[in-house]
Structure 1
């Protein structure tokens, strides 16, 4: 065989190569040369690669039982429904000074080995209790003004006098996940990469709670933990730019939700299942240029 294998020549240091934009020139034993094409780098695959991502989400929540305790009360509201609160589309989605107003997502991923990434994520969701609902009540309230609002084991929340309850700045899930990546399409100008994985993290909400007409509680606080499973499709184009669509389902348990502005022991707790769909744009840093 006249022609040496490219890999063998490169490793033996008996290669006489001339760099071109996308080719290697390899010299044979007879002095002739032949071009060997370099392969396009595969995004989201190699150990040491990094990606960043920013996008926006819609979320949905299961009904939950919310337990309240404090001086003069200890009760639970059962089967409470809630929704997210997406911001109306406009310049606010692209103005950096207003980015926390929207339901946003951030990702920073690092490939700890081929096709396996460690991903730091911030999921800024919003959770708003439906105000127009009547829920089951269990427990006691010593203040007769609010105890009298309970009728036949139920309380109507519609007039906002008994309770308003939100995590709107927001339901912040700070998480760390492992994601496995698989390249589905690898063409000259485009790649399609699928990923799946799971994550765990802590809940850092800024809860907006007003109970019994007291001063509103509205401050950041580590309230509990969450866990999730997720899957995404990543369309990589122009070598480094990425469009990402991700679906996620998980469980949140917050056992220390602050309901007052002071250091009183008043608090609430709840747990629920959530689902989330997000989309946005990212950028990949391929630290290894060629396969």
Structure 2
């Protein structure tokens, strides 16, 4: 039977530690607020898929270094190259990012996100893909896709977010791309609880240890059934969003947003 020894895994693009059946995955590019790259997306997907075969990990904590969770995809390392890609390349990318969320859902271990500071763009979808989210009052959650000329549909956002916080609230966040403060995120149920910035990671680890010490086969079954019964069509939704996002990445508005960011100006969108 296949086995993956998580304790021996050497991560290349983020921090990874395993202690007493709890793995902590730390996005650790703090100088840029922990953005994702092509390589980190791919490594996240592959590691999460391998965790189905890990006997030494029973719960996972996902967090970010330096007082922020994740600022999304790296503007220059991802968005810059994307505006030069053809449709097959764009679709390959959007499918890969969606595969990260699907891997989070199919990993048998409960995933607890400890969120402080910036949680934006793809970072919000790592949060949505987690089973439980703990936050801080000072954190800011922003589904920024519309701010760069794209659809709010990304990595399963249009199926996951409404089911976490309700259709109307999700629609408002996805249409506007505004930053939601931590107090609001907790009030509407996006966060399970709020903690002081210096305590949120410890709280997530404590919860993960509690789960890891529990009936982990039962936890894995609970997780499977929660998503099988609640979101049976998630894979189809993610595929549809991958196609929609790849189409949006060919618009002039997407390119305008990148050039505006590069010149530190506000983008002016024209809807083409």
TM-score normalized by the length of structure 2: 0.19
* Structure ranking higher in strand proportion: 1
TM-score normalized by the length of structure 1: 0.18
Larger radius of gyration: 1
